[in-house]
Amino acid sequence: MQPIDLTDCDREPIHIPGAIQPHGLLLVVDPASEEVLQAAGDTESIVGRALPLLGRRVDDALGVTLKGLIRAADIELRAAPVYVGSVRPPSIRDEVDVVAHRQDGVVVLELERAPAARLSAAHLLGEMQAIGAALEAAPDLPRTCQAAARELRRLTGFDRVMIYRFLEDGSGCVLAEDRAAELPPLLNHHYPASDIPKQARELYLRNVIRVIPDVNYMPLPLAPPVCPATGRSLDMSDCALRSVSPVHVQYLKNMGVGASMSVSIVRDGVLWGLVACHHRTPMPVPYELRQACKRVGQILSQQIAAREEAEVHAQARRLADARDELLVTLARAEGPIESALAGHASELLAIVPADGVAICHRGQIAGAGHRPSDDEVRVLVDWLLRDSGAPDPFATDRLSEYHGPASAYRNLASGLLATTMSREEPLVVLWFRAERAQVIEWAGNPHKPAEPGSAPGTLTPRASFELWREVVHGRSRLWTVAERDAARRFRDAASELGRQRRLQELNRQLRQTLADKEALIAQKDLLMREVHHRVQNSLQLVNAMLRLQEGEATDPAVAMRFAEARRRILAVSATHRRLWRSDQIQSIRFDIYLRELRDDLVEEWGLGWDEHFRIRAEPVLVPTDAAVSLALVVTELVTNAVKHAYRGAPGPIDVIVSGGPSTGIRIVVADQGGGMERAERPGGFGSRLTQLLIAQVKGEMAFQDNRPGTKVVLTAPLAGAAEAHAGSGGAPPSA
């Protein structure tokens, strides 16, 4: 036996059948010449004459040109079919309705005999208003669908009208029906996905109404099969006269249907379901009635969307209230968010209605309600975390089909809704729903949707539609859109709360650390103040003792040596004071340091020196150890100038400082006195001290003639010193 391939129906070219149903006439026309390029249908029954139409103009058959039709209708032809009016061909009295659309550069005309008694526009408008009011008055979605079935059957006269909804797995279910009393009920019957193939559903989206007035019709072929203008078969997706798949026709015959009509129910661009109309005998449906049914389908689609959205919104509001209440509780709880969740596990069942819940944090399980064991939950969490591309939240009503080990506990957890709050920790929240064994009533055996046809590789649709009951295990109640969204929103809010909680703890630890450091700094500052106070006292004591020794000395040379020692002590003391007041320890602002040293020396020498002793220094940072050495050298040089250049009397002395870390420091000490004899420079303690200090800073010193007076130039590198701060507030060079 040839194996059955159910995908054959999905591959059937139903959009290019190459034939039409015989209740109309189809013409493919060149819009420029109005010549008929292709034709299908019984011309005698439609236009009253059995004349060949190929190669003739449209007005030969209709008595009016294509341009005249379009001009009279005051329309612009587009890809979607549009009613262009009715005409009365020359050979018949009855009117013919004409629908036209553009397709691949040609114009497709569809002609059908108009009914002898047309429904008036006022009558149809009244019907639409009454049906709209009936749908609006229904209190819920099931009764809205029931009202639609009832009103459409009253409007059309079909024996049976059903509202058929597509389910998530592609199968369908009859939600509502209105039928003749003698027909068996099909309400709540399920139909397998193979009954309506994928490409048929695509056509239902494109062409929302389809009519088969007589399922026993004989298709009339389109001649020629290939359009001369395009070189392709005509795409009839938008044609009302399109011949239907033979498989579908046989399917209807097997159901005992003589005529059918379907109206698509579309929500947000997705095929939600169908209005399926069946009649036991042939049933013509004129154009006006089809348009009315199409409008009812649109009204029903809008009502379904509004009611489902209202239901989702109401459920989302209830779940949001429960979520907000739990988040407030978690925010007040102490400790990490994981501990707070574990302590309020039962309240998670209010956020997402379920039979049980589990929180898994680093392999530790907490939970509430009916759920799998801790070990089973750990295995389940590992499985969820392995697939990094899985949707989050992950939701299924048939867990064992995805995760084999779940078969062992399907009575507790056939449904799973899980969200991962952290993959690093990890932290996962899982809601479980118990198995709900379902008894599904199928219209025939769903596992035998088709039988082999007479020709190899062809299919014959199933012939049995007797009630066939199936008990389905391993499934739970479906998770709604609102419930999945509630899990996602809770995950985001709780994760943010956890981040805030961790941040607060880090801030608390940081504040404690800072407080401890500040206490230590305060203690060290107190010790440093004490050390500073003791050092200053010691330096002042040494200075006082030297002053006493200077006063008691009878030899002027000895007294001078004591005075020089005191000046050196002053330089060291000034450095210490500057370091104590500075924020920097490794370096010192040498320009400020020199000005303080100058003030101490002026106080020592007398106020007469205040206007003569000038410091002109750029802001420059000097390493602390080098600053002391350089200051002592400057003190020695200035003292020599006072002693040798001016013999102790006030006279001009300039100290000029420039440079920086990259160029080194340059210090110039210049006087305008009598100058020094060469023999006076190198000899005593001061000279030896100066040379030693210059060697320590790896500097160089040169004596120059200042004409008059002497200029001493001292240069030294500043390795390790930082750049002077821009805008540091240093005083500009003194005049």
- Euclidean distance between CA atoms 445 and 442, whole angstroms: 7
- Euclidean distance between CA atoms 360 and 375, whole angstroms: 11
Q: Is the pLDDT of residue 147 over 70?
A: yes
Residue-range domain boundaries for the chain: 19-113, 119-311, 333-434+480-552, 583-716
Q: Kindly indicate the confidence band of residue 461, based on its pLDDT and cuts at 50, 70 and 90.
A: low
Q: Is the pLDDT of residue 715 over 90?
A: yes
Least confident of 144-148, 277-281, 404-408, 632-636: 632-636
Omega before residue 449 within 30° of 0, cis? no
**Mean local confidence (pLDDT), 341-346:** 86
Q: Which of 139, 185, 140, 194 is nearest to 166 (CA)?
A: 194
All residues at 6 or more sequence positions from 263 whose CB lies less than 8 Å from its CB, including other chains? 152, 208, 209, 274, 275, 277, 293, 294, 296, 297
Residue 457 has what pLDDT? 36
**3-class SS of residue 175:** strand
Residue 735 has what pLDDT? 31
Q: Is the pLDDT of residue 497 over 90?
A: no
pLDDT in tens, 231-257: 999 999 999 999 998 888 888 888 889
The strand pair at 710-716 and 700-705 is best described as: antiparallel
Domain 19-113 has CATH 3.40.50.300: no
Same fold, 119-311 and 583-716: no
All residues at 6 or more sequence positions from 683 whose CB lies less than 8 Å from its CB, including other chains? none
Residue 578 has what pLDDT? 58
Q: Is the pLDDT of residue 262 over 50?
A: yes
- Percent of the chain scoring above 70 in pLDDT: 84
- Percent of the chain scoring above 90 in pLDDT: 34
- Euclidean distance between CA atoms 421 and 410, whole angstroms: 25
**3-class SS of residue 402:** helix
Domain 583-716 has CATH 3.30.565.10: yes
Residue 265 has what pLDDT? 93
Largest CA distance in the chain: 156
**Mean local confidence (pLDDT), 708-718:** 91
Residue 301 has what pLDDT? 94
The strand pair at 394-396 and 364-369 is best described as: unpaired
- Residue 508 sits at the vertex; the CA angle it makes with 503 and 514, to the nearest 5 degrees, is 120
Residue 159 has what pLDDT? 96
For the chain, the distance separating the N- and C-terminal CA atoms, rounded to the nearest angstrom, is 117
DSSP 400: H
- Check: CB of residue 621 under 8 Å from CB of residue 583: no
Instruction: Give the residue carrying structure tokens 């490794």.
Output: 586
Residue 472 has what pLDDT? 59
- Euclidean distance between CA atoms 27 and 723, whole angstroms: 92
Residue 70 has what pLDDT? 86
- Residue 574 sits at the vertex; the CA angle it makes with 572 and 575, to the nearest 5 degrees, is 65
- Euclidean distance between CA atoms 154 and 64, whole angstroms: 37
Q: Is the pLDDT of residue 502 over 70?
A: yes
Q: Is the pLDDT of residue 93 over 90?
A: no
pLDDT in tens, 277-305: 999 999 999 999 999 999 999 999 999 99
Q: Which of 603, 668, 604, 661 is nearest to 630 (CA)?
A: 668
Residue 48 has what pLDDT? 76
Q: Which of 432, 429, 430 is nearest to 412 (CA)?
A: 432
Q: Is the pLDDT of residue 638 over 80?
A: yes
Residue 676 has what pLDDT? 55
pLDDT in tens, 582-616: 555 677 888 888 888 888 888 878 888 889 999 99
Q: What is the CATH number of domain 119-311?
A: 3.30.450.40
- Euclidean distance between CA atoms 501 and 336, whole angstroms: 7
Residue 459 has what pLDDT? 40
Which bin fits 623, alpha (ψ -120 to 50), beta or left (φ > 0)?
Answer: beta
pLDDT in tens, 125-144: 899 999 999 999 999 899 99
- Check: CB of residue 29 under 8 Å from CB of residue 106: yes
Domain 333-434+480-552 has CATH 3.30.450.270: yes
Alpha helix (H) residue ranges in 582-706: 590-605, 624-640, 685-696
- Euclidean distance between CA atoms 359 and 214, whole angstroms: 61
Q: How many Cα atoms within 13 Å fall on the side-chain side of residue 612? A: 21
Average pLDDT of every residue of the chain: 82
